[in-house]
Structure 1
């Protein structure tokens, strides 16, 4: 069965973006093997705001071949957008109800794992519904002081078990957890 993997960057003080939505502090080093992660998934779950911002993102004309290829690989994945807005879109399936049931059906499909991209409210919903199988949290060596926190207003305590830790040359530490059942 497919797994839902939350893979995202967080600051040392727990923010997934700055107070104005900035993510310019994110580091992507070669030794992080993001391409390797992308090869393990065939589906991406987005919230509507994240999808509108990144779901069809195209690098500018000055982007190098590596960046262009990265986005080509990302855009080749199956995309599901969780939103209260009903919308038709040729590049994604919009889901506006029955989140837990829909995710369970998608997880039963053949194929690779699923990347829970976010945003924050979708991540919170998935945490509250216990829909995340793996937490891959990359802690970046910066503190913002304010911004959008990763774990905000949890309805219940979240107990996790560390299954792996990776340290990268940039100082990013990736912590990989499974929820304790």
Structure 2
């Protein structure tokens, strides 16, 4: 059965992006090693991505070309997106996940979006988290884990240091 996975980087104090929605704090690191030894093995098992509209807009602001053309890509939004690379969906993420898990395919990557990931954790729909933690303390910004009314337990299954990143698999 398809697995629902989160893969992404965050600061030591739990932020995905700084207070200006910027990832500049992350791009200062040399990432060749982590890309080859962490990201490449992860992405080979993915055929579908899901992201929120803010994550999509932020992604398209930092690149001219959509970076995942070989996967089926869903963006959670109420507004139309004019792109041949994405499918707009205006349904709750947990409903989309339940639909996609019934289909055959490889794993599903939840890209960014503290609200999306927190909602999926709340509904116990995340199978694994793969977090790259940097030594940065941002103090403010977009948190990976938004306020949740329940707790969740994950078990650490692997950890590896890549230069200034610690890569945790839960």
Q: Same fold (TM over 0.5)?
A: yes
Q: Please, which runs of 5 or more residues in structure 1 have no aligned partner?
A: 60-67
Mapped contact 1:140–1:172 kept (Cα < 8 A): yes
Q: TM-score, normalised by structure 1?
A: 0.80
Distance 1:6 1:152 in 2: 15
Distance 1:56 1:2, change over 3 A: farther
C-alpha root-mean-square deviation of aligned residues, in Å?
2.2
Aligned residue for 1:138? Answer: 132
- Equivalent residue runs for 1:12-91 within 5 Å: 12-26=12-26, 27=29, 29-32=31-34, 33=36, 34-54=39-59, 58-59=63-64, 71=67, 74-83=68-77, 85-87=78-80, 89=82, 90-91=84-85
Offset of 1:54 from its aligned partner? 1.9
Distance 1:18 1:123, change over 3 A: same
Q: Please, which runs of 5 or more residues in structure 2 have no aligned partner?
A: none
Aligned residue for 2:148? Answer: 154
Distance 1:28 1:155 in 2: 37
Distance 1:30 1:164, change over 3 A: same
Distance 1:9 1:93 in 2: 25
Distance 1:56 1:93 in 2: 18
- What is the total number of aligned residue pairs between the two structures? 164
Distance 1:152 1:46 in 2: 15
Q: TM-score, normalised by structure 2?
A: 0.85
